[in-house]
Chain A
Amino acid sequence: MSANALLQIRNLKKYYPILGGIFKRKVASVKAVDGVSLSIFRGECFGLVGESGCGKTTLGKTILRILKPDEGNIFFDVPQDIIDEIISLEEKGSKSTKLKRLREQYDLSTFSGERLLRFRRRMQIVYQDPTTSLNPRMLVKDIVAEPLIVQGIARGEKAREMVIEILKKVGLSEEHLYRFPHEFSGGQRQRIAIARALVCRPDFVVLDEPTSSVDVSVRAQLLNLFKDLQKDFNLTYLFISHDLSIVECISDRVAIMYLGKIVEFAPTQKIFKNPLHPYSQALISSVPIPDPTKRRKRAPLMGEVPSPVNPPKGCRFHPRCPLAMDICKKEEPQIMEYEKDHYVACFALNGGMSHDK
């Protein structure tokens, strides 16, 4: 893939165990993220779209290493040749110490302890609901300054200055320093959360549905803020959302997720103009258009999302898919480049042929 990828993940898996039996052993697992490969370019806003329970938030948190992945690699700002070396070694099935050493040095999925803590300053997250993501018993100044202090970047007066600077950037001011989160409105709270995420000047920020808990009129303010901050701080975003209309406006590229897998990803224009996967088509066509003259008669996608504990065999979408063929029930489609930069995982596109051929 392209050389200017900031973040590259490969075959990432995250399963949640379900405990049961007399000794509470693992009896099954929820396959929240099941083999996802992606690369996110420096300075872009990458949109991740899917319905609730498809694993998009889990994917975001696994990339940040809030959750430990069960399998797969996460490369953050690693030279391409090293990534290639690791991949080639892994594909050989090598168990050499060289691979182990390389992974420990470069693969974020193996990091732990102090090293991981230090790495945190480069990647941050903004949560969906600022009422729960800000400690109600801390002052704004302490909330925003905390990353600076624990990362050892600054403390005391210097930290204070940096906090004020970042607060001004997100549209708050010095007078807000000595207040508790509950004294603010929803939009302002989200601004505080953004300030906390950006105070360490990270390279990469995961935005986990950052606008879904605020009102329509405030939402636009926040989206504009995200755009401005991206320019000012040269940020790379992973924008997770279920609202396609927002993603369409803010993202450069979009990936669509269904039941723990990415079914399609492409530049925004392409995917919204010409969605290829039947699920993407259904999803995009079910978004209501805010224009009564463009009301369309459409056949909504029937059925509901199956449980991620026992996902359907083969292609996970096949029980709801209008184009389902025999092969879809047996084999899992691999994600492939169908057009330039347009990746899709669907058998229907290459005439029901298995990928093995």
Chain B
Amino acid sequence: MYVKSKWDEIKISWSFRVKEWKFILKRISESPLAVTGIAIIFGFLIIACLAPILAPPQGPDPFIVPQDIEIATLTPNPTPPSTRHIFGTTDQQYDIYYACIWGTISAFRVGLSVIIIALLIGLVIGTLSAYYGGIIDEILMRITDIIIAFPGLLLAMVMAITFPTVLPLDITLLTLIITAIFSLTLIISKSRRKLLLAILAVFVGDLFLYIYNPIIIPLNLSKLDKVLISLALVSWPGYARLIRSEVLRVKSEDFVEAAKVAGCSTLRIIVKHIWPNTIYSLIIVSTLDIGSIVLTAAALSFLGIGAEPNFADWGQIISRSRNWISRPDLLVANYHTFLIPGIFITLFVLGWNLLGDALRDVLDPMIRRR
């Protein structure tokens, strides 16, 4: 295999990675459960993409569920499925079909963004904790203990309630924190003195700016955003622990030591040697967790903390049924208000869980085989 240009080289080095993924996909496609999972997720993806066609928005914000004013004037009670509203309406005549279709997008948004934020926080904390060990590890792990010790659902509730709607995002403070973390890692890794000095200079300049003229950007958060942020803040400790144990596992392997002997800096060891070897476990766990996160978000909505009452979100529709818990006749009469969105939630979560389970069956032995 002779390589002519840089581009060829990139192509060849990637073709092996693509081959690996093809192999994984082939293994997955042999399990009927996994195929079902993928089919479900694809189905939801298609619904999400075609939402504007399936349920044309009637206002400027497509996530606001349209209200059928005509019936609303007649009765406040829900109406069962009919040709006009194929999934029926809730009380105050919100269209369930519309909410279910656009709710798909909300579900993807919540699941993916919570996972990404939590993974990022977990990656930083877990890696620092495992790689440096000692007192840093002790402090960071005790912090995760504190968050884990409190039932996450309630903590998320309190956070989502108390979180301000307008978040003053302080850019200067943020850069200050980032430079601080960066220079700290450089100090610990004992290398690149010049770069370290430069970063310290930035740090001091930034500090100056922060004291005299901070740049603050106000961020407007919707209720769903608040739920999203609080869920991420509650669920990162789990990832931090997972990543910590993964990094510890990889760290003890000979090839990391060999990289040290070769003269690699700490940063290079973490980024080039340790992280790529933890990727499979992260993929498995995050796939399995997307479903769970959507469930928790729905549970928060059910308790009355989630999205606004007219926002297209599955949990929000179901939460309307809470009023009839002690009224058996209404519970039966209005079955459609919770049955249909519930099926959407269950299928969505099931899809991710099936996929995650299959991924684990395929990838876990690959991790262990090494």
Contacts and interface: CB of A to CB of B under 8 A. Distances in A.
Contacts of A171: none
Contacts of B332: none
Nearest to A152: B263
A120 B263 contact: yes
Interface stretch (A28-36, A134-142, A281-289, A291-299): A134-142
Interface of B (DSSP majority class): helix
A129 interface: yes
B264 A178 contact: no
Nearest to B193: A114
Given A113-B191, A114-B191, A178-B1, A125 B258 contact: yes
Interface stretch (A75-83, A143-151, A240-248, A339-347): A143-151
Contact of B263 (A137, A151, A180): A151
Nearest to B2: A174
Contacts of A131: 370
A133 B255 contact: yes
A239 interface: no
A139 B265 contact: no
A121 B262 CA distance: 7
A132 interface: yes
A135 B277 CA distance: 8
A139 B261 contact: no
A175 B1 CA distance: 5
Nearest to A136: B370
Q: How large is the interface on A (under 10, 10 to 19, 20 to 34, 35 or more residues)?
A: 35 or more
Nearest to A175: B1
A112 B266 CA distance: 13
Contacts of A175: 1
Contacts of B259: 135, 146
B363 to A, nearest CB: 13
B263 A121 contact: yes
B211 to A, nearest CB: 33
B362 to A, nearest CB: 16
B1 A112 contact: no
A277 interface: no
A178 B263 contact: no
A158 interface: no
B254 A177 contact: no
B22 interface: no
A120 B191 CA distance: 14
A237 interface: no
Interface in A45-87: 61, 64, 66
Interface in A145-184: 146-147, 150-151, 174-175, 177-180
Interface string B251-283: 001110111111111001000110011010000
B13 A139 contact: yes
- Which of A127, A137, A174 has the most chain B CB atoms closer than 10 A to its own CB? A137
A147 B263 contact: yes
Nearest to A180: B16
B13 A117 contact: no
A191 interface: no
A61 B257 CA distance: 10
Contacts of A193: 258
A124 interface: yes
B263 A117 contact: yes
A26 interface: no
Nearest to A183: B16
A355 interface: no
A174 B9 CA distance: 13
B262 A112 contact: no
A57 to B, nearest CB: 11
Contacts of B86: none
Contacts of A146: 259, 262, 264
Contacts of B263: 117-118, 120-121, 147, 150-151
Nearest to A120: B263
Given A135-B273, A139-B16, A178-B16, A66 B191 contact: no
A14 interface: no
B12 A196 contact: no
Nearest to B258: A133
A112 B277 CA distance: 28
B258 A196 contact: yes
Contacts of B322: none
Contacts of A114: 190-191, 193
A50 to B, nearest CB: 20
Contacts of B268: 150
A134 B258 CA distance: 8
A136 B1 CA distance: 21
Nearest to B273: A135
- Which of A124, A139, A178 has the most chain B CB atoms closer than 10 A to its own CB? A178
Contacts of A129: 254
A196 B257 CA distance: 13
A145 to B, nearest CB: 10
A129 B263 CA distance: 20
Nearest to A114: B191
Contacts of B3: 177-178
Contacts of A117: 191, 263, 265
Contacts of B370: 131-132, 136
B197 to A, nearest CB: 14
Contacts of B253: 132-133
B262 A120 contact: yes
Nearest to A118: B263
16 contacts: A113-B191, A114-B190, A114-B191, A120-B263, A121-B263, A124-B262, A128-B254, A132-B255, A136-B255, A138-B276, A139-B13, A139-B16, A147-B262, A150-B262, A174-B1, A179-B16
Given A132-B253, A133-B258, A178-B1, 20 more contacts: A64-B261, A66-B260, A66-B261, A113-B191, A117-B191, A117-B263, A117-B265, A124-B261, A129-B254, A131-B370, A135-B273, A135-B276, A138-B276, A139-B13, A147-B262, A147-B263, A150-B268, A177-B3, A193-B258, A200-B262
In the A-B complex, the 3 residue pairs with the smallest Cβ-Cβ separation, listed nearest first, are A113-B190, A133-B254, A120-B263
